[in-house]
Chains A and B, each alone.
Chain A
Amino acid sequence: MATYSTNEFKNGLKFLMDGQPCTIIDNTIVQPGKGQAFNRVKYRNLMTGRVLEKTFKSGEKVDAADVVDTDLQYLYNDGEFWHFMDETSFEQYQAAESAVADVTKWLIEQDICTVTLFNGQPISVIPPKQVTLEVVETDPGLKGDTAGTGGKPATLSTGAVVQVPLFVQIGEQIIVNTEKGEYVSRAK
């Protein structure tokens, strides 16, 4: 397995810590001038998303993590796994619930998602920034009340719930920002 020495540390480097893939988000060399150098490292565990800190003695080695980000098309959910496909190689990947838990409500068949693969297995999925979904449930708005500030909750076809303006009706297609979980506009 490939290894990285502390002097190869830099932001974005992917390595293994306790068997889990991590990415460096900050690396500061502590060089006291009259002593051994250390690397103060802040990193994100890519499985859990948690940010952690450790200090490495200069010259220590860590194992490289085989982690790549790739664009895959979402195919379907079979009840247990979420299936994705590489559009050029037609290779298929199945993601377990842990990889998609936060984003299932934004997964729409045929959309292209950014999938992080670790040893060839999806570990996290980022949906497109904007998705178009159908409103399946919402209160009928009061006619003429277009200046309302709060809006109303609407349930979408994937189960996601977002605040929408009062004029949005059941059966309409709307565009939603998946990062913020916010209504953007009606879809044409």
Chain B
Amino acid sequence: MPNKLMASARQRLQKRSNLLAQVRAFFYARDVLEVDTPILSQAATPDLHLASLTTQVKVPGFKDKQRYYLHTSPEYPMKRLLSEGSGDIFYLGKVFRDGDLSPRHQVEFTMLEWYRLDFSMQDLIDEVVGLLQTVLLPVLAQCAQVEQLTYRQMFAKYAQIEDVFGAGSEQFQHCLAQNGVPEIIGLQDEDTALWEQLVLTEVIEPQLGKSAVSIITHFPARDAALAQLDSENTAQALRFEVFVNGMELANGYQELQDAELYRQRFDESLQQRQQAGLEQVPLDNRLLEALEHYGLPACSGVALGFDRLLLLQQGASRLEEVIAYSLDKA
């Protein structure tokens, strides 16, 4: 390779290396233990919107051609570790999601995920902001400010929909039209939740994180995933997301602890997969057993897209600019 090209590639890799070191230093300084959990698992996430890659494992005398799933996030093994008493932990490494490829998505990407014992959702939000300010402040001045809104407040402020929980599909459609969003093909009027989602992705998200880091909390309970519901209003979940420059950067929960509720949410997800005609996946029974046996300690956890963080830090617009080789070149 010509020296000049190599020099710029080397510079690019150096920036990535620096950020990896910076993030690790942030957690080491807080006594959070780095864990490197298995990428391969006999179980997969049942989440309706996540597609796992699979591979065949063949080990003579152990596994005779058995399907293993590549993790979409280290959440399940990390929660097993937490149940078994690991204390505060973080993971910084590769995860895999099939079907995701765009300027902001790669099938294989680097995720930072961490769990903090006895942290409330707000404690964890504060720590995420602390990390962002540590690594982004020198380049993104807006990170000095934080805007924290509930899901409901976000719709009121950015889409002029005062009560998103009570709004009907025509209100969402009206909002899309008013904001000049191109026509949507294939959506029935009664798909209210999807019209709501489109207002979120097409109208609101591009505005988030422009003048401050935007933290959105209290998502609808249907999007709770493995977050606790808000005890004061069970239509809302203790889930938060972080946006910078119109891009979702992190997604965290005050974690559900009850093993029985995990089983319920997993079963609901499996049912949704069935209704959508998707393949069923084996549930992580080892996680469920650990939760039943030891119980998950009170904690909050968050996953943050490391490549996106680097993208923001470097002022780049496509993930390909901050990774060694993108999917098409790998």
**What is the CB-to-nearest-CB distance from B122 to chain A, in angstroms, rounded to a whole number?**
21
CA gap between A26 and B223 in the complex, in Å: 30
- Does residue B201 face the partner (Cβ distance < 8 Å to A)? yes
Interface, chain A (partner B; CB < 8 A): 28-38, 40, 52-57, 59-60
Residue in A33, A54, A59, A60 whose beta carbon sits within 8 Å of that of B251 in the complex = A33
Q: Which 4 A-B pairs have the closest CB atoms?
A: A57-B186, A60-B186, A53-B182, A35-B197
Tell me whether chain A's interface is mostly helix, strand or loop, or mixed.
strand
CA gap between A172 and B103 in the complex, in Å: 53
Count CB-based A-B contacts (< 8 Å): 65
Number of chain B residues whose Cβ lies closer than 8 Å to a Cβ of chain A: 25
User: With a CB–CB cut-off of 8 A, which chain A residues contact B194?
Assistant: 35-36, 57
Interface string of B177-211 (1 = CB under 8 A from A): 00001111111000000100110111000000000
Interface, chain B (partner A; CB < 8 A): 49-50, 99-103, 105, 181-187, 194, 197-198, 200-202, 223, 225, 248, 251
CA gap between A48 and B101 in the complex, in Å: 31
Q: Which among B50, B102, B181, B251 has the greatest number of chain A C-beta atoms within 10 A?
A: B102
Chain A residue at smallest Cβ distance from B180: A53
**What is the CB-to-nearest-CB distance from B320 to chain A, in angstroms, rounded to a whole number?**
14
Q: Which among A37, A38, A40, A54 has the greatest number of chain B C-beta atoms within 10 A?
A: A38
Residue in B49, B101, B184 whose beta carbon sits within 8 Å of that of A55 in the complex = B184
A34-B49, A36-B49 given; A55·B202 CB < 8 A: yes
User: With a CB–CB cut-off of 8 A, which chain A residues contact B251?
Assistant: 33-34
CA gap between A58 and B100 in the complex, in Å: 13
Chain B residue at smallest Cβ distance from A34: B223
Inter-chain contact B185/A60, CB cutoff 8 Å: yes
Q: Which among B181, B182, B200 has the greatest number of chain A C-beta atoms within 10 A?
A: B182
Chain B residue at smallest Cβ distance from A39: B185
A-B contact pairs, 11 of them (CB 8 A): A28-B102, A31-B99, A34-B251, A35-B49, A35-B200, A36-B194, A37-B99, A38-B198, A54-B183, A54-B185, A55-B202
Inter-chain contact B201/A32, CB cutoff 8 Å: yes
CA gap between A165 and B248 in the complex, in Å: 58
Inter-chain contact A29/B181, CB cutoff 8 Å: no
User: With a CB–CB cut-off of 8 A, which chain B residues contact A35?
Assistant: 49, 194, 197, 200-201, 223
